Structure 1
Amino acid sequence: MSERAAPYYCPYCGDEDLVPEEGAAVKGEGYPWSCLSCARVFRVKYVGLRSASLSAPSRPTEGNS
């Protein structure tokens, strides 16, 4: 698996004009990406998969329960 997976959208403004931020890589923390639209630099990191054996978190219900 590649260490650099390209994001499709900026998480801040939603624009697609992203370029890799070269020279700022930190092993294990993902590569930074620069949004040319809003001028923010961000990292995207894959954490892992949630276990299927865990039950879904309980959601609050409306009304008095």
Structure 2
Amino acid sequence: MSERAVPFYCPYCGDEDLVPYEADGSWHCRACARAFQLKFLAVRAPHTAGTPAADDGAQR
């Protein structure tokens, strides 16, 4: 298993012509000339029915 997953397409234009960029997890799209970075943030528990989500915006 590889240390980092490779993106399949550019999140901006959808093209598949990606090459690694300067920093870890950074990629450069040759089609639209944008650079972007992929970063894992967290694993969250799934929202279950009957319990309010922490970010549902409900006021009490």
Shift of 1:3: 4.3
- Of 37, 42, 45, 2:39 maps to 45
Shift of 1:8: 0.3
User: Secondary structure of 2:12's partner?
Assistant: coil
CA distance in 1, matches of 2:15, 2:31: 7
Where does the alignment leave 5 or more consecutive residues of structure 1 unmatched? 59-65
Partner deviation per Cα, 1:10-57 (whole Å, 9 max, x = no partner) = 000000000001xx32xxxx52100000000000112222203x3386
State the aligned residue count.
51
Structure having greater relative contact order (Cα 8 Å, sep ≥ 6): 1
Matches within 5 A, 1:1-65: 2-21=2-21, 24-25=22-23, 30-52=24-46, 54-55=47-48
- Please identify runs of 4+ aligned residues in structure 1 that moved more than 2 A: 1-4, 54-58
Where does the alignment leave 5 or more consecutive residues of structure 2 unmatched? none
Shift of 1:2: 4.5
| TM-score normalised by structure 1 residue count | 0.61
RMSD of equivalent CA atoms? 2.2
Percent sequence identity over aligned pairs: 53
